[in-house]
Structure 1
Amino acid sequence: MDNYQEIIASLKQRFPEGTVTHRKDKKGVYIPNQVYTDRLETATGSEWDKEIKELDISVPHRYVKAIVQIRIGPYTRDGYGVSIMNGDPAAEPKLIRTAVDQAVNEAFIDAIDTYEMGWKDLAPYKLEDWAGNPALAHLLQSGPPAGVEVGAAPMQSFAVSNHKCLKCKANLTIAEWELLGRIPNLNRESMVYCFEDIPAHLKRKLPEQVLTDFEEKRNNERRST
C-alpha cells in the first residue's frame, strides 16, 4: 500500500465542528463509533477490515473480554475491551449480548486510538488528563475542519449562528459557538454564552493560545467591517 502514510494523515485530521458528543450523565465526552467507522471508510476507500481476534465470555465471573484487530492493507493495530455484566447472565442471557457489544466497541475504540483519530477534537476536553502535557500542545492548534481543502476560501466563522446566548439572548457567531466547544467539559447544549457573557471561571479554562487566537481574529473582523 503506497499511500499508507497519506491514509494515516487523513485519519488524524480534525472532525467537523460538533462531532464531539457529551455523555448523558455529563461525565465526559466521546466521539461515536459510527464517526470513526466513516472516517476509516473515507480515508482508506473502504480498504480496511475489522476482526474480532479474541472473545472471552465468562458467565461465572460475569465479564466479557474482546481483542479487535483493524487492518489497513498489510498493517494491523489491536485494541482491547472489557465489559462487566451487572446481573445474572444465566438468568438473563441478553446481558451477555449487551456485554459483548460493549467489549467489542471498546476494543474497536482502543485500536482506533492508536492512530490518534479524534485526538485533536478531544484534546480541549482533556486538559487535566493527557492533553495538558506540553508535548501534546500541538493538538490544540486550530486547523481547517476535515473536508476543507487547504487554500480554499476561509470559512465565515464570524457569521451569525442559530444559537442564542442564555444571558443577553443575542445570536452567537459561529466562532463563538466553536469557542464554547473548546472549554473542557462544557455542555454547549445547556450553557450557551456569547463571548462577552462567558462566566469568568469558564473563560479561564480555555487554552491561552485558543483565547488569544479568537480575540485576535475577532478584532481583525471588527476592523474590516
Structure 2
Amino acid sequence: MDPFDYAKAIELIKAPFPSGTVQKRGDNGRAYIPNQVYTDRVEAATGSMWDREIKEVEINIPHGYVKVVARVTIGEHCRDGIGFSEIETDQNGKGKSLANKVDQAFAEAVREALDTWQIGWKDLAPYNQAEKDWGSNPALRHLLNSTPSSGGRDPDNQSRTFVVHCCIFSGCGKQLSRDEWDFLGLIPSLNREKMVYCFQHIPSHIKKKAPAEVIVKYEDRIKSK
C-alpha cells in the first residue's frame, strides 16, 4: 500500500466543488455547503484515512443548548471544532429529541473542524463579498482568481466514485441512481448513509427540507431518466 500523501489529500479537499453545490439557507439566505458533501469529499480525498470523534458533550437544558467538541483526524493531523444546537423543552421542562440535537451539534462541530483545512472556501468566497464578510478581505482574493492544481487527477471525478445504495423503504429495495444519491446529500442534516431512500420514497417531511428549486430540478432530471 502506498504511504498516505497528506499534502495531496489536503489539495484535493480544498479543490472547488461542482457547480450547483452551494445552497442558500431558507431562514437567512446565507450560502452553505451540505455536511454530506464535505464528508463525501474528505472520504474520497483521503481514501478513508480520516476519522471524527466526539471529545466533549454539554447538554444544558436550563439555558437551552447542546454543545459538542469534535475532533477530525486526517492522516496524522487533527483539528477540533465546536458545534451548538438549540434544545426545545416539553411542558414539564424536559428536553425533547436530545439525541438528534447532539447529532446536529456534532455535525456542526465536524464542519467547523474541516473548515480549518479550507474546505469549500473557494466555493463560498463569491457569496461573502459584502464589506464586512470574510470573502472581501484582500488577502483572500486568490480564492476568486485561482484553482489549486490537482496534480493531473480530477478531484470531482474521484469524489464521485459510486457505491451501490438501495432504498430502505419497505418493499422497495431499488438501487439509487447517481442523481438520487446526490439529492440526498443536499438535504440539510440528513445522514444519507442511514436514511437511504430513492426519490419516490423520501418521506415528504424530509424532502421538503431541500430548497424548492433543487427539488424541481431533481424531479425533472429523474423523470427524464
What range describes the TM-score normalised by the shorter chain of this pair? 0.5 to 0.7
Q: Deviations 1:190-219 (Å, cap 9, x if unpaired)?
A: 9xxxxxxxxxxxxxxxxxxxxxxxxxxxxx
Structure 2: gaps spanning 5 or more residues: 155-210, 215-225
Aligned-pair CA distance for 1:82 = 1.6
Within 5 Å, which residues of 2 pair with 1:63-102? 63-88=65-90, 91=93, 93-102=95-104
- Between the aligned partners of 1:36 and 1:145, the Cα distance in structure 2 is 19
Aligned-pair CA distance for 1:31 = 0.3
Q: Deviations 1:16-40 (Å, cap 9, x if unpaired)?
A: 1110011123521110000000011
Structure 1: gaps spanning 5 or more residues: 151-186, 191-225
- Between the aligned partners of 1:83 and 1:34, the Cα distance in structure 2 is 18
Aligned-pair CA distance for 1:92 = 5.4
4+ long deviations beyond 3 Å: 86-95, 142-150
Which residue number in structure 2 is paired with residue 134 of structure 1?
138
Indicate the percent of aligned positions where both proteins have the same amino acid. 50
- Between the aligned partners of 1:44 and 1:19, the Cα distance in structure 2 is 20
Within 5 Å, which residues of 2 pair with 1:1-225? 2-25=4-27, 27-88=29-90, 91=93, 93-128=95-130, 129-141=133-145, 143=147, 149=153, 189=213
What amino acid does structure 2 have at the position aligned with 1:139?
Answer: L
Is the Cα–Cα contact under 8 Å of residues 14 and 146 in structure 1 kept in the other structure?
no
- Between the aligned partners of 1:58 and 1:136, the Cα distance in structure 2 is 37
What TM-score do the two structures reach when normalised by structure 2? 0.61
Q: Deviations 1:170-189 (Å, cap 9, x if unpaired)?
A: xxxxxxxxxxxxxxxxx9x5
Aligned-pair CA distance for 1:99 = 2.1
Deviates more, 1:41-50 or 1:140-149: 140-149
Instruction: Indicate the RMSD between aligned Cα atoms, in angstroms.
Output: 3.0
Aligned-pair CA distance for 1:86 = 3.7
Is the Cα–Cα contact under 8 Å of residues 61 and 94 in structure 2 kept in the other structure?
no
3-state SS, counterpart of residue 18 of structure 1: coil
- Give the aligned length: 154
Q: Deviations 1:145-173 (Å, cap 9, x if unpaired)?
A: 989857xxxxxxxxxxxxxxxxxxxxxxx
What TM-score do the two structures reach when normalised by structure 1? 0.61
3-state SS, counterpart of residue 131 of structure 1: helix
- Between the aligned partners of 2:91 and 2:100, the Cα distance in structure 1 is 10
What amino acid does structure 1 have at the position aligned with 2:97?
Answer: L
- Between the aligned partners of 2:90 and 2:125, the Cα distance in structure 1 is 38
Is the Cα–Cα contact under 8 Å of residues 59 and 89 in structure 1 kept in the other structure?
no
Is the Cα–Cα contact under 8 Å of residues 87 and 96 in structure 2 kept in the other structure?
no
Aligned-pair CA distance for 1:60 = 2.5
Distance 1:147 1:36, change over 3 A: farther
